Amino acid sequence: MKKDKGRPGTYIFPVREQSPLKRLAQNTLFNFSGQAVILIIAVIAIPVLIRGMGTERFGVLALVWSFVGYFSLFDLGLGRALTTLVARNMAKNPDNVPPLIWTGLSILILLGCAGSVAMFYSAPLVVQGFLKMPYELKSESMVALYLIVAVFPLVITSAGFRGVLEGLQRFDIVNVVNVSYGIFSFAGTLLVLKFSTHLGLLAAVPIIGRCLSWTVMLLFCLRLIPGMRQWNAPVPGDARKLLAFGGWMTVTNTVGPLMVTLDRFLIGAWISVVAVAYYTTPYDVVTRLWIIPAALVSALFPLFSALQVSNQKDSAHFFSIGIKSIFITLFPLTLLIVAFAQEGLAIWLDETFAAQSTQVLQWLAVGVFINSLAHVPFALIQAAGRPDLTAKLHLLELPFYLLCVLVMIQHFGIKGAAVAWTIRVAVDTAVLFFMAWRLFFRNQGINRAMIITVIAALLVILLASFMDNIIARIVLCLFTIPMLTLGSYRYVLSSNERGYLLSAYRTIRGGSGGHHA
């Protein structure tokens, strides 16, 4: 432990030196393992929840949590800002970390209170006037929302604690807390479902879990950075840095979630809440594939931030590894989902769900695959201190996406919503890659082999969606997956990148326990 001479009694927990590759491999494994466990729990629990509470109630509960998720924008991007600035300060001036954190947390508390007030007054407008649902469900939804309003400041400040832990690259702690919260929420909800289907009681379980996870993350932050135990008054200079970074993040956090949740609210308003369930269930399942790019990119983000201070050249190596690793991992999974969407939904849920949601699942799977590749340039641009670029892109996209989704829902229903979403993320991905190339890699040329490979993969996925014969789909998958995956490894990856991946694999296989609090 290191004493800060400038601030008596302030201590900083030392960061153990590791190679960037080893740290990246370990943190990616932590992130993937944590999210995979939550995915498995969700896959098991969701059918039971739907059968227990009914499709309509499940659709309403999904909308309630989407509403709360959208209001999480009140953190003004300070969670991600804390990750960036904590990572940079740990690399060059760790003594500034405790006052920086307390400045961020102080702002987050105020923002959480503001969010509670906004939710309190807007909830009746959304539930009573906007959504089509039976009266008894409206009253239950209001109870659930008002319970969430009471603890909303904890939801917001949790983003700050998570940002601090990720800035310290303690993804082991973050994922243990997240997995524990997921287990508690699903298990508790299923237990409550045996006694009542009231939405207020069902929503209370994850609320309690959120309070417990908030407490645990606070204790870990205090242990890792003992200087936090002594309260530091907000530092104006730190506040300006956080808000300058978070200001543009706020635009992204406002417009981004709006484009994610807008379609389901429009479906609920124009079609029915039952249609919301037919749309959100495949959406929630297929977007779980994001655990793969999220596991990698969450680990890359603080690394990108630190490398902007210490070694910008290495950013290009990790950028390339990130893109190609995501592609090689996600292509086989996406092809299998598209090829066997109908059979999978019928087995997991029932034939009715499969008939309504198969094409939705297929289109969303393509969109998730394309969007997953965009995670890496998105993280690099923001870690380099340019969140304004991603924010401006989202602002530009919003009116076009709104028009597109309105037209597509009117003409094609929930399938149209899925097509509109996929078109938007495809355009978003192309622009993000162009931005990253212009800013960081303009002198390195364009990897044409990677572009051709991605296009070939999309054509194969499209072909699978048109095949009616299940035998033909099986043959296509058995032939294409090994050919394209091995071909990518051999011809798309450079020898250096193959070495990086093999080294990361050996690191993971050899164990990645890391350091513990």
pLDDT for 435-458, tens place per residue? Answer: 888 877 766 666 676 778 788 888
Confidence (pLDDT) at 4 = 42
With respect to residue 5, please indicate whether it lies within any of the assigned structural domains: no
Say whether pLDDT at 517 is over 50.
no
Average pLDDT over residues 308-334: 76
Domain membership flag for residue 6: no
Q: Is pTM, for the whole model, over 0.95?
A: no
Q: What pLDDT is attached to residue 423?
A: 92
How confident is the model at residue 15, as a pLDDT? 44
Mean pLDDT across 138-154: 80
Is the pLDDT higher at 425 or at 44?
A: 425
Please say if the pLDDT value at position 9 is more than 60. no
| pLDDT computed for residue 236 by the predictor | 79
Residue pLDDT, tens place only, 461-497: 888 888 888 888 888 888 888 887 777 666 666 666 6
High-pLDDT (> 70) share of the chain, %: 80
Mean pLDDT of the chain: 78
pLDDT band at 512 (very low <50, low <70, confident <90, very high): very low
Instruction: Give a yes or no: residue 467 inside a domain.
Output: yes
pLDDT of residue 516: 33
Q: Which letter does DSSP use for residue 12 in this model?
A: E
What pLDDT, on a 0 to 100 scale, did the predictor assign at position 216?
Answer: 92
Distance CA 77, CA 301 (A): 14
Pairwise CA distance, residues 310 & 313, whole Å: 9
513 found inside a domain: no
Q: Report, as an integer, the average pLDDT of 83-102.
A: 78
Residue 300's nearest CA partner among 493, 25, 33 is 25
- What pLDDT, on a 0 to 100 scale, did the predictor assign at position 324? 82
Residue with the two structure tokens 């849920």 = 349
Mean pLDDT value across residues 409-434: 89
Specify the number of domains making up the chain.
1
Per-residue DSSP letters for 410-464?
Answer: HHHHHHHHHHHHHHHHHHHHHHHHHHHHHHH-GGG---HHHHHHHHHHHHHHHHH
**For residue range 366-391, what is the model confidence (pLDDT) as tens digits?**
999 999 999 899 888 887 778 788 88
Residue 167 — φ and ψ, nearest 5°? -65, -30
Average pLDDT rounded to a whole number, residues 268-285: 78
Segment 57-63 mean pLDDT: 73
The whole-number pLDDT of residue 21 equals: 63
Higher pLDDT, 492 or 282: 282
Range of the domain at 340: 18-508
Q: What pLDDT is recorded for position 307?
A: 66
- The position carrying tokens 């929503």 is 203
Residue 13: pLDDT band (50, 70, 90) is very low
Residue 370 contacts residue 427 (beta carbons within 8 Å): no
Q: Quote the radius of gyration of the chain (alpha carbons, Å).
A: 23
Residue 374 lies in a domain: yes
pLDDT at residue 219, as a whole number: 92
Tens-digit pLDDT profile for residues 111-136: 888 878 887 887 777 666 666 666 77
Tokens of 207: 């609320």
Q: How much is the pLDDT for 505?
A: 57
Query: Is residue 66 in a domain?
Result: yes
Residue 489 is predicted with a pLDDT of 67
Tens digits of residue pLDDT in 32-41? 777 778 778 8
Residues 12 and 164: beta-carbon distance below 8 Å: no
pLDDT at 6: 39
User: Is the per-residue pLDDT at 289 higher than 90?
Assistant: no
- DSSP for 14-51 reads PPPP--HHHHHHHHHHHHHHHHHHHHHHHHHHHHHHHH
Does residue 137 belong to any structural domain of this protein? yes
Q: For residue 100, is it within any domain?
A: yes
**What is the arithmetic mean of pLDDT over 183-210?**
83
